[in-house]
Structure 1
């Protein structure tokens, strides 16, 4: 595997060495990812002290493949959604003595060599949540299809308006978390709005959010990819519910009888 050049011209191996004896947990929510879960797990193992896969009720060969892998598997009996899978992952990691949790998608989109780069600000105490941004750097290698990029810009705008954040990639599923953030982040949604909800919760809790540039690929993905239109609509509907949740309930004085 080639080593990515991280920020400042350092390789992933150099960044990993700078983390010293930090205990890293890598978490992977997975649903029907039989084509990619094996290679994804193999790719992240060299960077993790523990790999935890939340099998969200898969009905394909994902459970059988995971049974052969040296990973911790947490299984939902039925498909509950990404938000529910992340909650399960957080609950498990809170019971471990980790210095950082790194979460990435199971479909092969994310490059495992970015794990040390995302974990570094958390381990060094500079951030509570680090978002891997596909658009932070002006990189000609960006493979995001134009129609997806337009949709992501809309979701970035909506999320920023609702949460008050200023981020370049609010929907990235590649993130690192501090132990404190695992305790304080509130995740209520079961669905695909979880990325936006985590930003909103972190902002409300006064947690520090930063971004690091990552690579992502879309062509020749082995795993399952979500319909971008359905995904986008789900996120927008969740943001609308989030706004409604924030509206103050009007008080009415009791009427004289």
Structure 2
């Protein structure tokens, strides 16, 4: 049975968050959110016990990773109309919850992203993480044509119905990126709300690995471009192949003219690279035209 207001479920994925979970659950309950759901990924500390004692419903996910935890929770354990997704490390402020949920309650949007850069407290993010976040956000805006300012933010609010429209498969921290990409692809309205982002309390260790997870996120952005921006996806590979083929052809031609040395194998490889590159560029243009026509058809159908 659900407890508290049926309208909002505060969803907290956890993994060894004993240092902060009790305070985080208490903060949301004091803010008026009695329906706090903790989905634990197999913590080896007292996370589950402390969360339950603080008043949260606690379930243990069947798989691994934050992405899997969120999908499983919404599919099997959430009946509320709205979901407020936050991290359990006390970096987000429960006082921002009302502002996060307001656009949903007003019907202005279906997905809300909390912008951590609007009020980032000193020490909340390392210099390396800041640079990585900026690069990822710029790449997202370039590839997918939307500027959501902070697509890696873990503070989200969304309607359960809109979440079920998204095709999500990411297991770990790539879930935030995947949700942003899917919102663009599915035409889900998104609003960005400024929030406060605080440093993790002492004794609380992060589960995020900047280099590894950053690489995964970049690959996810590029992989998703295949269906959301095919011109970029195929065009970038095509342009690289063409450029490589042209450079190789220049070298072959120069060595033949200057030194009388022929490179038949390299000449074949360069021709193949140029041909492949042009084919990929043409395929990218055609795929982009088809996608544009498809989207225009959907928009026209919705207007009718």
Length-normalised TM-score, structure 2: 0.67
Residue 120, structure 1, aligned to residue 105, structure 2 = no
Aligned mates of 2:62, 2:160 — CA distance in 1 = 27
Aligned to 2:28: 44
Deviation at 1:58, TM superposition (A): 1.3
Could you say what secondary structure the match of 1:214 adopts? strand
User: Which string of whole-angstrom CA distances, capped at 9 and with x for unpartnered residues, describes residues 53-82 of structure 1?
Assistant: 11011122212223423221120255x111
Aligned to 1:202: 183
From 74, 79, 82, give the equivalent of 1:90: 74
Aligned mates of 1:216, 1:121 — CA distance in 2 = 20
Q: How does 1:135-146 map to 2 (within 5 A)?
A: 135=117, 137=118, 139=119, 141=121, 143-146=124-127
Q: How does 1:243-254 map to 2 (within 5 A)?
A: 243-244=225-226
Deviation at 1:22, TM superposition (A): 7.7
From 125, 131, 138, give the equivalent of 1:157: 138
Aligned to 2:164: 183
> Is 1:29–1:85's contact at 8 Å kept on the other side of the alignment?
yes
From 11, 18, 25, give the equivalent of 1:27: 11
Runs of 4+ residues deviating >6 angstroms: none
Change (3 A) 1:209 1:45: same
| Count of residue pairs brought into register by the alignment | 225
Aligned mates of 1:33, 1:55 — CA distance in 2 = 9
Higher share in helix: 2
Could you say what secondary structure the match of 2:197 adopts? coil
Residue 110, structure 1, aligned to residue 92, structure 2 = yes
Could you say what secondary structure the match of 2:163 adopts? helix
Greater shift, 61-70 or 238-247, is seen at 238-247
Residue 59, structure 1, aligned to residue 40, structure 2 = no
Change (3 A) 1:71 1:203: same
For structure 1, the residue ranges without an aligned partner over 5 or more in a row are: 1-20, 251-257
From 212, 234, 240, give the equivalent of 2:193: 212
Aligned mates of 1:245, 1:205 — CA distance in 2 = 11
Aligned mates of 2:169, 2:200 — CA distance in 1 = 32
Deviation at 1:174, TM superposition (A): 0.1
Aligned mates of 1:214, 1:59 — CA distance in 2 = 31
> Is 2:144–2:225's contact at 8 Å kept on the other side of the alignment?
no
> Is 2:168–2:178's contact at 8 Å kept on the other side of the alignment?
yes
Aligned mates of 2:81, 2:20 — CA distance in 1 = 27
Change (3 A) 1:130 1:93: farther
Could you say what secondary structure the match of 1:54 adopts? strand
**Which structure has the bigger radius of gyration?**
2
Higher relative contact order (CA 8 A, sep 6+): 1
Alpha-carbon RMSD: 2.4
Deviation at 1:83, TM superposition (A): 0.6
Change (3 A) 1:223 1:186: farther
Change (3 A) 1:172 1:23: same
